[in-house]
Amino acid sequence: MVPFLSFTLGATQFSADGFDSETKFSMSLGTGLRLPITDNFGATLGLRGYLTFVDSDTDYFCSSDGGNGTCLVRSSGSTFFQGEATLGLTLRF
């Protein structure tokens, strides 16, 4: 088993059909294991968390129609967290 750790800096784009998009600063931290099965074939297991910095108490994807306004997302914190788990196969040649 070969453990790994990764760190990225970047941007997250929030977009939805019919609304303006917004881009915010973000970062991610990931870890996992590479599991060699043969010299040229293996499996990879990973976990990654994404942290996006947003303004406190912000509304996203808002529109107004006939004086009535609505928003798809309302935020009450200063960060937005997402996570993922991955399982992959590796082929080297």
The neighbour count for residue 24, using CB atoms within 10 Å, is 15
Residue 67 has a pLDDT of 67
Q: Please state the length of the chain.
A: 93
Q: Which of 31, 24, 25, 28 is nearest to 5 (CA)?
A: 31
The reported pTM is 0.72
Residue 19 has a pLDDT of 76
Mean pLDDT for each 10-residue chunk of the chain (93 residues)?
95 83 92 94 96 81 72 79 95 90
